Every structure is written in structure tokens, then in C-alpha cells.
Structure 1
Amino acid sequence: MKIIALTFFAAVILFFAAPSHTINSQTIDTATVKITSIQAGNQTLEKSEWGSISIKKDLPLSISFTTTFAVNKQIFYKVFVDGNLIYPNLLASSITLKDLNTGAHIIKIVPAVALGNEGIPLLIHFTVTDKPVSPVQPVESSTPDSFSFLNIEYIAGGIILIQFFVIVFLFVRRTQNPKISKKEKAADKTDVHDQIYQELASLKQSHTRLSEDLKEQQDINEHLQKQLKEVNDNMQDMEKANLHLFEQKKKLEESKAKLELLHEQKEEMFAIAIHDIKNPASAIRGYIELLNSYDLNATEQHDIMVSLVASSEDIVKRSQDMCTILAKAMPEPKLIFSSQNINEIIENVYGQNVSYSKVKKVQLVKKIGKDLPDLSIDADKIEEALDNLVNNAIKFAPQDSTVEIVSYLKEDTGKTVVVEVKDNGVGLTDDDMKRAFQKGATLSAKPTGLEKSSGLGLWIVKKIIDEHNGKIWLNSKVGEGTTFTFELPVETKE
């Protein structure tokens, strides 16, 4: 009886679950889209070609369609191409696709009347190729004549029926099995308890082992963190040490540069001082020779004695300058500017060298400009420069020649005073003129009295004139003589 009742109950369920052919085909759930025409370019495809459409790449594809909706509402369509929505709310019942890439494509057209109220979609497969195509037998899908929707409903009903019979079979089998004895139930219960106990014991053991492993990992992590901290501390110490070494290296390089500059300046100062001592010493020698060689009157002897005293004082002053340089850690030769007249300096230099010119039988002449403005200069340095030029001119001048000292105000600007030292001696070659102001340069011309030349005199002169923001140059011709000219600005600031 139970089996009969269950069978009847299953039949009732199957009746209500099965798909019904009386469903209104105009409802939105069963409505479908139907193709009315397809065109590839200007060519209309036959219905037999709709199942497998193949078109040439440069042709547009036009599809017209309709729907089975019979409702009094506005119908629109959603059109997808290869899964991409290209028309979300298409009101027209046709589409045209252009510039399609070669390959297989799928068009899906979904009818709808409102949000959430859509019909069965229409799928259209087609291929775009570069080659001419030939018609292929169609395989049409998702049309009203395919009965796909009804087939789905029948399949669903069959699945429900199979599930129902499986449930009935299991239920009947359960009711027909003999009852299990209490003893067997107790044994089963005991076995279950034992099994649960064993599983709990195993779980406890696993938990204990995992806890031990976790603690061991934590200890290892703490040890590694300590080591990492030590490494970071060491790296910071090394960075500080490297920075300190870099700073020390920089200081050493600066000290080295200062020492090199000190050494260079001391060498220059020694060279200048020694050269400056040599000139007055040579003058003293000339004065003594003059006293011994000529019968001089009292006035001439007095002039020579005055020159000897001046030259001696000059030597003492140069020696004191050298001592000052040695006493300083860093030589700082500074110019001491004051307002001076260049003609006074010319008079001093003339007086220091006139006796030397007489010994060399050279006529020393001075041509001083009138009303020259005072200059802001270091008088000692300018006198040193002019003395070097005059002494050199006498040194290289032949007997019975003339050395002139000339001063004048430059007429074109009126802002510079010019001093010239001229001789009509042997002159200089072009190569000598290029190297004349170089330090230590030895020129081809030789002193007429076999005096020695250090090659520093003209270098010292140029250095002094440059320090006064002046200019110096020379003009010379072999066999005709040489003219050294320097000019100083009227307003020279320190």
C-alpha cells in the first residue's frame, strides 16, 4: 500500500512539474527573436545559408529580425558581438556591422520590454575571411521552430522524476530492512566512542607537537631578530666610520692643497727676494768699481756714497722681507697702496742705476712727463718692477748706447699713466719675445758685461703690474733695440 501511495504521489508531482504546451507563447519568458533577412554587402543570403554564414572582410553584414512578443509595450533589443555589448537599447529591428576582423564571430540579440523582463536570445554564428566564400548548409539555432525551450522543460521534468524515484527506492528499502538489535546498537555505540577517543588522543598529540614546533620557531625567530639588530647596528657604526674617514680624507686633501700652495708661494717669494737682493748688490759693486777706476770730485763721490747707502738699505729691507716670510706659516704678500707720483719713483730708480750705467759706459736718460696725476699704487713694488727693467736694459746694452726712461699720460683716455724703458741694444728675436715674461726663461741675448741672468726679472715685473690691474708689453727688433712699456690706471684699488 505504501508503494502504491508513493507512486500516486509521484505521478501528481510529475504532472505539475512537467512542461505544459498550453503556456502562452506570447509571454516574455518564451518569446524569441526570429531572423527575417541577412545581407552580405548588397547580396541577400538565402535562408539555407543562415546556419553557417561566411562573408568577405570588406563587406558589411546586415541582419533584420522580429520577435514573437504580442504586448502593447515598446520592444527594444540588446545586441552583443563576441560578448561585447554594442547596442544596449536598440529600438530598430535591424543591425549593420562594418569593418569586421577576420575570424569567427558570434552575435547575440536579446529582446526585452522592461528591466528584468527579457526573452530568449538569438545566437548567430558567422565567419569573416579574406577569400571569396561559398554557401554552406545552415545550422540555425534559437528559432521558434527548434522547440529548444520545450526540450529543456522536458529534460528538467525527467530529472525531477528520476530524483523522486531514487528517494522512494531508498525509503522503501529502509522500511523493509530488519530491525537492529539493542546489543548491536550498543556495540556500535561503543565502537564509536572508542573511535572518537582515539581521534581525540591523536588530535591532542598533534596539538602538543604543533605547539612545540611553534615555540621552537618563535625561539629561532627571536634569535634571528637579535642577530639582525646586531648586523644593523654594525652597519650603522661602519657608515659612521666611513663618514668620519671621508671627512678626514677631505681635510687631508685640503691641508695638502694648502701646503702645496704654501710651498709654491714660498718658492716665488724666495725667487723674488733673491733677485731683488741681486740688483742692489750689483749696483754696490758698480759703485765701488767706479770709485776705484775714476778720479772723481767731491760731489761725484758724495752721490756715489748716497747711492751705496740706498742700495745697502734696499738689501737690508729685502732680507727682512725674507725673514718675515720664514716666520709666517702662510706667506700672504699683500700690496700696500698709497697715493704716489710715478715721477718720484723714476727719480729713485734713475739714481740707483746711474752709476751702473757709467760703469757699463751706457748713457741713462730720463724723460719725465709734466703734471702726471698721482696713482694709488704700492710704491715699493712699482719701484722694484721699474728697477728690474732699467737694470736689464743696462745689463744687455752695448757700450756707447742709450737707455731712456719715459713717462706720460695716455692721450686717448687720460685714465692711464704710461712708463717706457727703451734701449738701442741687440734686440730680441720673435721666440724671445714670446717667452720673455715666462718664469725662468733664458733668452738668446747675452749680457754685454758677462753678467749672469736668472730669468726671473721680467716674470717678477709682469707679476707686479698684473697685481696693480695694469698692462705690460714689449716691442723689439734684432739689432735695433727693445722697448718695454707698462701702463697703470689712475685709480687702482686694493
Structure 2
Amino acid sequence: MNISTIDWLKEIEDIANLGVYDMDLTTGTWTGSDSLIRIFDLPVKAQYTAEDFQAAVHPDDFDDVMAYYHECLKSRDYFNCVYRAIRTDGKVIYVSSKSRIFRDDNHIAVRILGIKQDITKQKTDEIRLKQLNEANEQKNEVLTMVAHDLKSPINQIKALSSLLKNDASDAQKLLLDILEDASDNALDIIGDLIEIAQLEQDIRLKLTNININDLVLKSVSFFDYNARQKNIRLKKSLSEDATAPIHRAKFKRVIDNLLSNAIKFSPEGETIKIKTEKKQGVVKLSVKDNGIGIAEKNIPKLFNKFSTLRRQGTKGEKSTGLGLSIVYEIVKKHNGEIFVKSEVNRGTTFTIKIPSV
């Protein structure tokens, strides 16, 4: 297929949704490519005036655009800006204008050659994303406020239940135990919701170089009793050095959540393997169990805090269903990645990779 250079340029203009223009500043007239005329929905003419261009600029952006334009004519060689324009059919579009200013021997601007690109979709997506982020921040603020407000009455219920046990019958004490257990579970959920809301805020964690092995050993020691209750062996395979910039408390929370889940969803008598390694600027932590596993279709939903994938452990252990959401957010704050490999009734492996520098 033999295509001329001009045809290629027209094709590129259409693909990029942009048009080319050439302005003669000595006459105040300009010409534009077919694509430019289409973008602005202009009537076809041999030449256009500066007023034709000015008429297309959105009134709310007009003063800023013209001030920048005149500033560039005085002292700059390039004109780059984004503004809103109104087509002749009334449609508002976002335009990215990038131009080169040519000057004569007296440094007077005589010509502008440039492109104008319709970036309406890109800009609309940016605005929508900003609105979603703002809405998410507002949602987190409300969530945190409501969660804090709920903690007080639930704690009061717990305290009242404890007092009522003094004069309660055995049957009543059993009911009060159930009420206290439900209150504890509600407080756990509230605590997790508050933590997720805080993690989703645009706040950087203060990271310090710490050997992750030290945190693994502490977690293993802490969960050793839970594991022994199910005759589960915690097997460690730690590299000599697993130092990385981390937030000690937050990353300890990651290890605790993964280890707690592995114990919770493993049958009695199994082995859980915790491994660290460091190579090529990355520290890798993995927790592998031989538990009940996760269906492949459910893996993408694991880190969604609104997921309904809440299951009891192999001995009826309860779960808020929010632990992995917390893990995911903390790993993100460390510029890391988390991977899941699982097979139903064969077990699950969670692997975390974070930069070591």
C-alpha cells in the first residue's frame, strides 16, 4: 500500500484527534488542517481570523488564555496550555494547545505553528477520578466518625452484660456470654474499618530499615499457642538478611494477619511455612498453608473490603473479613506487591514483595 506523506499525516491527526494550524501574525490570519476544522466544528474557509480563534475560547477561560498568549508573544518561543473551547454546535471541549512562535531579526513574533488536540475524554476522566477520590475521602471520614461513635455504646453493652452476670442464672449467663462475644466481634469489625479508612488516606508512612526476620520471629512466637491448639507446626525458612524500609507496626500487622489466617483455615496437624528471601533489590515474604484453599473465581475479591467472602476457620474461628484488605493497603503503602496462589482443599500461598532500598 503506497500512502503519501500528507495522507500519513492526516491519518495521524485523526488517530490522535488533533489538528494543525499556521498563523501569520503580520496579517492576523491563520489556516488549519481539515482535522482542526472538524474538532472545532468551524465553517470551511480559506483563511480564518484571530477573532475566529478567540470566539471559540470558553468565556470562563478567555482572560487567562489571552493573558498567557500575549505573555508568550513577548518573551517565549513556545505556547503550551489547556483550556476549554465552545464549538459552533455548542459542545464544550477541552483543548491542549502546543505551538512554536517564530520571530524576525528584530525578535518580533511573526508566525505561530502548532497543534490543537481534543483531550475532552482524558480531561473528563481526570475530573471524574478526582471526584471519586474526593467522594472516597468523604466516605472514609464518615466511616471513621460513625465507627468511633459505635464503639462507645457497644462497650457500654459489654460492661452492662458483665454486671448482669452477678445475679444471673446459668441460662442467663450463657445468653450474656453470647452478647459479650457479639460485642467483641462488632468492636473488631469497627477497629478494622477505622484502620482501613486511615490507610486509604493519602498519608505516607514513616519507613525505617528493619530486618523483617525480626518481625516474623515475633509473630511466630505470638501465634505459637494458637497453632499448638490445632497441632499445627510453624516452620520458618529465613534468609540471613531481609532488611527493607518498612513501618514496623504496620508491617507486623501484615505478618500477623497472614499467619492468623493460615492457622485459622488450616486443619489440625498441618504445617505452615513462613519464608523470607532477599535478592535483586527486593525482599520477599511468603506464608504457605495446606488449608481449605480459595476458589480461583474468588481470588480477585480477596482484598475488597466490601467483599462477602467471610468464612469461619476449620474449628469455627471467626473472621471480620477485613484482614486481607488491611494487608493490601499496607503493602501498597510500602510500594510493594502481593500475590496469591491457591487451590481448593490444597492450600494457599500469599507472597509479598517490597523494595529493599
> Into which bin does the TM-score normalised by the smaller protein fall?
0.3 to 0.5
Larger Rg: 1
